[in-house]
Amino acid sequence: MKVFYAGLTPTPALQLYVRDKGFDVGVMVTASHNPPEYSGLKVVMSDGIEAPRDVEESIEEIYYELTFRRITWTALGYDVKVVDDVNDYYVSKVLEKVDREVISKKGLKVVIDCANNVGSLTTPHVLRGLGVKVLTLNCDISHIPYRNPEPTPENLVDLVSVVRSVGADLGVAHDGDADRAIFVDCIGRVLQGDRSALMLCDHILNNKKLGIPKKVVTAVSSSTVVEEVLSRYGVEVIWTRVGSINIARTMMREGSLLGFEENGGFMYGIHQYVRDGAMATALMLEYIAYSGLTLHQLYDKLPKMYVVKTKVGVDPRDRDVVFEKLKMRLLEVFSGGRVIDVDGVKFIASDYWFLVRPSGTEPLIRIYVEARDEVLANKVLNNILTLANEVGMK
Ligand code: MG
């Protein structure tokens, strides 16, 4: 194989480069949203999308069974060429896809928090290219991360306080490899990723005039608010299993150009079928510029739901059996709603919905409930917990 070294770069930048420059495969070394000691490999196929699970499994097999040829260290490395335009190429391609003129006229002030990681090399340049006043936070890539790379509200306390104290229009936080973007409004609210994605869908479907089938793909972990809002103008929401690759492949199959996860991963098919933090950021600024409203006002237009969540432990050896029992009981007790069971059980009623799903990585069942008010949310959660206890979970 001919090997090219792309240097420090966000995952979506590598993905775009692999696809556009005709590479057969790309490999990203990153811990993504995890602390740096959890670094792993993301393998990217020639279309820029992550390798499917069966390809990953065959790579793991080669690795663990040592079925590869060994060479001496002196034979290694001579053929590695450096490609030094990955980040520049990416920045220019993101900028191409939004209305720079309209955005720059708004004179927005944005704080960008890259968790001292590779997003620092691209997103501040995208923002400057859009004529935005940029304030950087945690964008010194030579420093170990000042915050946990996962852009959850508890990890974005500094970003919230900087956004508020400097009077910024909004804040943006990436995870370690900058495929996710989480937004903070001017009063310091950290927007849930499915809500901000819904706003982006609203913008793209109404303002970008793509002439595309009106389909949006998201995982079952996203809120039904997505469906509530998008169905108003005839958009079909397709629910998939959790995992960005399921979303990407479903988008391609269904001819959809929009997909997202509730964790801040947004896919704009016109650009590429992968999560892309800088692209999501540029689109959000375009939405603000086109609408003439603030992020805060746009967010307040969405239906409000009250959220409660918890997890229950389960013996990993009989996780699947116990989960099936719980699923049966849930479907007996909760009726009159819609059931989606591509991944766990999602139940959708008129004034609440819940998702009960085994964790992919821990001996846990996760329970997530959203309802119109707090009392109903807690009532639904307690009913689920009672059933979970009945089938032997604690
Ligand atoms: Mg990531």
Give CA–CA dist 16/12, Å, rounded.
6
Of residues 62, 43, 63, the one with CA closest to residue 53: 43
Give yes or no: residues 284 and 256 share one domain. yes
216 and 292 within one domain: yes
The reported pLDDT for the residue numbered 75 is 79
Other beta carbons within 10 angstroms of residue 305's beta carbon come to 20
Residues 6+ apart with CB under 8 A from 354: 346, 347, 367, 368, 369, 370, 380, 381, 384
Average pLDDT, the chain: 94
pLDDT at 73: 83
Cα→Cα distances 225→114, 126, 198, 302, 350, Å:
29, 30, 9, 8, 11
Residues 278 and 240 in one domain: yes
Distance 118 CA to ligand 1 centre (A): 11
Last residue of a domain, one of 139, 160, 185: 185
Cα-to-centroid distance, 10 and ligand 1 (Å): 9
Query: Both 93 and 76 in a single domain?
Result: no
Please write the tens of the pLDDT for every residue from 32-67: 988 888 899 999 999 999 999 899 999 999 999 998
Cite the beta strand spans of 100-149 per DSSP E: 109-113, 133-137
The per-residue pLDDT for 80 is: 82
List the strands of the sheet with 170-174, edge to edge.
Answer: 133-137, 109-113, 170-174, 181-185
Tell me how far the alpha carbon of residue 35 lies from the centroid of ligand 1, in angstroms: 11
Do 271 and 316 belong together in one domain? no
On whether both 233 and 152 belong to a single domain, the answer is no
Final residue of a structural domain among 65, 84, 103 = 84
Cα of 134 to ligand 1 centre, how many Å?
Answer: 22
CA of 394 to the centre of ligand 1 (A): 31
Select from 300, 319, 339 the last residue of a domain: 300
Q: What's the mean pLDDT in 5-25?
A: 98
Question: What are the catalytic residues?
Answer: 32
Residue 113 sits in the same domain as residue 73: no
Q: Which has more pLDDT, 139 or 208?
A: 139
pLDDT of residue 78 exceeding 70, the answer is no
Structural domain range at position 334: 306-390
CATH number of the structural domain spanning residue 355:
3.30.310.50
Question: How much distance in Å is there from the Cα of 122 to the middle of ligand 1?
Answer: 15
Expressed in angstroms and rounded, the spacing between residue 232 Cα and the centre of ligand 1 is 32
Based on the domain organization, do 221 and 287 belong to the same domain?
A: yes
What pLDDT sits at residue 393? Answer: 81
The number of distinct structural domains making up the chain is 4
* pTM attached to this predicted model: 0.94
Report the alpha-carbon distance of residue 99 to residue 92 in Å, rounded.
13
pLDDT of residue 225 exceeding 80: yes
Asked whether residue 47 falls in the same domain as residue 100, the answer is no
* Contact between 291 and 32 (Cβ < 8 Å): no
* pLDDT value for 212: 67
Q: How far is the CA of 177 from the centre of ligand 1 (A)?
A: 5
The CATH number for 164's domain is: 3.40.120.10
Render 307-343 in DSSP notation, one character per residue: EEEEEEE--GGGHHHHHHHHHHHHHHHS-SSEEE-SS
Higher pLDDT among residues 1 and 43, named by residue: 43
Q: Is 101 in the same domain as 180?
A: yes
